[in-house]
Structure 1
Amino acid sequence: MNIVPSSIQEQINRVDRQRSLYIGISTGLVAVWSFFRLIWMLYIGMTFGWYFGAMAFQVVLWGVIGTGAAIASVGFLTRYNKSS
């Protein structure tokens, strides 16, 4: 099962193998940072109360960034693992 769409996978396959490792690691770190931010916002919201407008925007923003970074990371690291 592949979570990366085939049209995007074709674009990723054009990238050099070594560069795809760097991009995969970088986007993986962004995904981890986004997950950390979501957990931290959950803690802050439960501790100090939910300011719905600002909190909802931030949760959606970091959720979208993290999801996009995770998909990109999987795609580029899969490209790196393929033998050239």
Structure 2
Amino acid sequence: MKILPTPVEEFVNRTDRNRSLAFGISGATIAFWSLYRVFWALYVSATFSGIGGWSPVSLVVPIVLWGAIGVVSAVAAFAFLTRYAKQT
């Protein structure tokens, strides 16, 4: 089962092995940072929900934004690190 569209997979396969490692590490770092941001946004929304006049609904946009960034960077990191793991 392929998770990447064909043009993206061709780009990943054309990328140099060492550059794939750099892209993979960068993508994984961004994915972990996004996970951290989503965790703290959820924590803040749960903590501050008891304050009168403040609604945690205002954090929906950042949670969705950082979640999307995290998913895209995790897929990219997986693709490039898989390319790096290949011997050719």
Q: TM-score by structure 1 length?
A: 0.90
Q: Which residue of 2 aligns with 1:15?
A: 15
Larger RCO: 1 or 2 (CA < 8 Å, sep 6+) = 1
Match 2:56 to one of 47, 51, 55? 51
Q: Measure how far apart 1:2 and its partner are.
A: 3.3
Q: Measure how far apart 1:4 and its partner are.
A: 2.4
Q: Which residue of 2 aligns with 1:68?
A: 72
Unaligned runs of 5+ in 1: none
Moved over 6 A (4+): none
Amino acid aligned to 1:69: S
Unaligned runs of 5+ in 2: 50-54
Q: TM-score by structure 2 length?
A: 0.87
Q: Which residue of 2 aligns with 1:38?
A: 38
Per-residue deviation, residues 13-49 of structure 1 (Å, max 9, x unmatched): 1111001001100110100110111111111000002
Amino acid aligned to 1:80: Y
- C-alpha distance in 1, partners of 2:16/2:36? 30
Q: Measure how far apart 1:5 and its partner are.
A: 2.6
Q: Which residue of 2 aligns with 1:26?
A: 26
Equivalent residue of 1:35, what SS?
helix
RMSD: 1.2
Bigger-Rg structure (1/2): 2
State the aligned residue count. 83
- C-alpha distance in 1, partners of 2:44/2:29? 22
